[in-house]
Structure 1
Amino acid sequence: MACSSILEVCTAPAADGGICELRVALYGYACEEHTVTTRDGYILSMQRMPMGRSGETGGHRPPVLLQHGLLMDGITWLLNSPDESLAFILADSGFDVWIANTRGTKYSQGHTSYSTDDSAYWDWSWDELVAYEFPATVQYVNDQTGQKLHYIGHSLGTLIGLVSLSQGIQMDLLRSAALLSPIAYLGQVSSALARTAAKIFLAEDMYWLGIHEFDPKGQPVENLLKVICKTPGVDCYDLMTSFTGKNCCLNSSSVDVFLDNEPQPTSTKNLIHLAQMIRGGTIAMYDYEDEEDNIKHYGQPTPPVYNMTSIPNDFPLFLSYGGADAVSDAQDVQILLENLKSRDGDKLVVQYQDDYAHADFVMAVNANQVVYDPLMAFFKLQ
């Protein structure tokens, strides 16, 4: 094992039970397990697919970093067969593929000071994913490859990317970004499950009950879901659809893989932050709901707002959204696009797929032709 003291990183062959062994190596692809320690002490796993099925490493292989969404991990990009999953497709198309795994998920539960049993371990929202995880993973990929990289986010991964770009974080190390089912503004979320949870302050109630880890497979969350499931309009016989919208193009085998590996834990504080976005319709830092606390953290009585118009107009963006998406609602996406309208003409590619819902962008059997081919064509122009 080789380690570096600069970012406290280590590399190793595919670990027993890790994502490389579980979802990559079994298809005959090379895969490396990496770890990165963030400045706030979280030890994150990353997977690298340095080549495709052919095994050829020749030529220029641009690096691309994949960032999953809420309640998911890096397996997001490996749920289908190699001909249908984005990570495999990118590797076979000449890219050097890096897969991120957010703190708290199964393979990223290490910390330099805390265990997952400590409430302090779960004291974060997506603000910290922007401030610490995004720069650490981008820097690591750049250090390992010596190249600028492309970024792909799905769902919460797009929010992390957009806010990081608006803050100018690691801009000099990035070539472009692709945003699949973009999450920025959430005021028009039509997901009955998400809207109801935000309306009844579910995450806040959990937090004050001392539940700092939101584990979808844990008993406390199951008990609270039973409460939501009694709400008119929430169909708990199909939780995925109730949350994501009606996905058009999933097959049963990928859903089985999903159910075997997901959903993953996150922090209750992270869900509070997202609920604040749904209720407020803005993109702001975490609101401590108390002027004195906000002043202590931010030097002002209300949280600072993230400004999407601050993303440089010459930075290339590929954005793909769906008409059936209940989380990344088309109306909210239009607000985001309005904020991006001053971009240079060839630096924003927008794709709309009328029948796609939230999960289709990473699980649809036809996503290769519908979304990934145009995405890779966009990358190759940058």
Structure 2
Amino acid sequence: MANSLVFTIAYVFILFCSSAFGNRMYLSWNKTNSVVAASNADGICKLMVEPRGYTCEEHKVTTKDGYVLSLQRIPLGRSGGKKGDRVPVHLQHGLLMDSITWLLSPPDQSLALVLADNGFDVWLASSRGTKYSRGHVSLKPDDEAYWDWTWDELAAYDLPATSQYVHDQTGQKLHYVGHSLGTLMAMAAFSKGEVVSMLRSAALLSPVAYVGQITSPLGRTAAENFLAETLKWLGLHEFNPKGDAVTKLLKKICAQPGVDCTNLLNSFTGKNCCLKPSIVDVFLDHEPQPSSTKNLIHVAQMIREGTIQMYDYEDEGENRRHYGQSTPPAYNIESIPKNIPFFLSHGGADALSDVNDVKHLLQTLKDHDRDKIVVQFQEDYAHADFVMGTNARQVVYEPLMTFFKRY
């Protein structure tokens, strides 16, 4: 317990320092990684997929508001087969992550590769601002305007663009899998009628909609103390929780005898039951990823207010300019089409997708077609178990694939 507290405090300090005082450090880190990305055009395919024996393709898609996003396609499993006759699955990561989320574990435990080995055409999307999706038709990441977005834009632009691209490339309707913020993006989009015509089904892992009851000490403390707003006041529009110095320090800490760095994740996500300590080292090689400070403020507003609504500019004039009304419009989750097949999986130890918040979501979906919604509850699972748990294949992925095969 003492170790957990010490390293939690250390991590919070590191995150704040790397954000509040790390512009120079980040610019250096970003230039380094831009060179890597430019010299390795295949990106995530070459880095994480092909070395494991899988075929992989790199794709790019441009959103209506000008952001250039990376997509990876894994069209076949290791056993091969015929390309093009498989049902597509679109995977969408959560906050401060990218599509490597689905590739952190060994091949027989990583959802992207498990799906490929089981006959699906797998597509991985990375949201704007992350390492492999930093392009724009006119802006650069150094521009303040580049970071003027929240998950409102991810739902309105990123998700429709990537889903449409997968649909057009495959000529088929697709299954969707979201984790954490990837579930919020989906529900917000679905509530406005976006993407639904292209869907076979949607899986929501660690669903995030209502977050007013989260028990994560870090998440709640940050929201209640307006830490993201503080960063904005400091003029820091990009939130970058990762730099070379931070990563090296964390790895050094994690290498100390008797230190289990899964506590770092547990302190934020809840006590994950099923992570190997070694997974944190792999995690730190690739994650976490940048997001906009404005996005973090939006999430903090949801935590404080317990609502699902668009970004609040906290100024009636600004809200009217953006929305035509003095307060931000709410997302009407009840308007999600009732015949969308849903697979919803949540955990009893999850501090971000809290059990009571999920109950609130399920109550909101009470009129959904009963034969079109499957709810799975794992008592010992926390937030990261759904994407990095050693037994996630048996506990979550196998039932998920059975569900997909119904549609």
RMSD: 1.8
Structure 2 length as normaliser, TM-score? 0.85
1:333 corresponds to? 358
Question: Which structure carries more helix by proportion?
Answer: 2
The answer for the alignment partner of 1:310 in structure 2 is: 335
| 2:217 is equivalent to residue 192 of structure 1 | yes
Runs of 5+ unmatched residues, structure 1: 1-13, 223-235
How many Å apart are 1:32 and its aligned residue?
0.3
Aligned partner of residue 127 in structure 2, secondary structure: coil
Aligned pairs for 1:72-91 (under 5 A) are 72-91=97-116
TM-score (norm 1): 0.90
Residues 1-382 of structure 1 aligned to structure 2 (within 5 Å): 15-16=40-41, 18-57=43-82, 60-218=85-243, 238-382=263-407
Q: Give identity over the alignment, percent.
A: 67
Letter in 1 for 2:271: K
Task: Give the SS at the match of 2:319.
Answer: helix
Task: Classify the secondary structure of the residue corresponding to 1:188.
Answer: coil
Q: In the TM superposition, what is the alpha-carbon distance from 1:144 to its structure 2 partner?
A: 0.3
Q: For residues 319 and 161 of structure 1, what CA distance do their matches in structure 2 show? A: 12
Quick one: which amino acid aligns to residue 211 of structure 1?
Answer: L
State the Cα deviation string for residues 171-209 of structure 1 (Å, max 9, x = none). 111111000000000000100000000001000110111
Equivalent in the alignment of 2:256: none
Q: Aligned partners of 1:221 and 1:162: how far apart in 2?
A: 34
Change (3 A) 1:99 1:237: closer
- Decide whether the 8 Å contact of 2:262 with 2:277 is kept in 1: no
What is the CA-CA distance between 1:100 and the residue it aligns to? 0.3
1:20 deviates by 0.6
The SS at the match of 1:70 is coil
Structure 2 counterpart SS, 1:51: coil
Contact 1:68–1:74, Cα closer than 8 Å, also in 2: yes
* Distance 1:265-1:59 versus aligned 2 partners, 3 A rule: closer
Contact preservation (8 Å) 1:214, 1:221: no
* C-alpha displacement of 1:125: 0.2
Unmatched 5+ stretches in structure 2: 1-38, 248-260
Q: Distance in 2 between matches of 1:176 and 1:24?
A: 25
| Deviation of the 1:253 alpha carbon | 3.2
Output the CA distance in 2 between the equivalents of 1:277 and 1:94: 38
Q: Distance in 2 between matches of 1:243 and 1:110?
A: 30
Tell whether the 8 Å contact from 2:76 to 2:83 is kept in structure 1 after alignment: no
Aligned partners of 1:46 and 1:100 also within 8 Å: yes
Paired residues, what number? Answer: 356
Q: Given that residues 215 and 221 in structure 1 are in contact (C-alpha distance below 8 angstroms), is that contact kept between their aligned partners in structure 2? A: no
Q: Is the 8 A contact 1:79 1:258 kept in 2?
A: yes
Q: Which letter maps to 2:116?
A: A
Please say if residues 15 and 33 of structure 1, whose CA atoms lie closer than 8 Å, have aligned partners that are also in contact.
Answer: no
Report how far residue 345 of structure 1 moved.
1.6
Cα offset for 1:254?
2.4
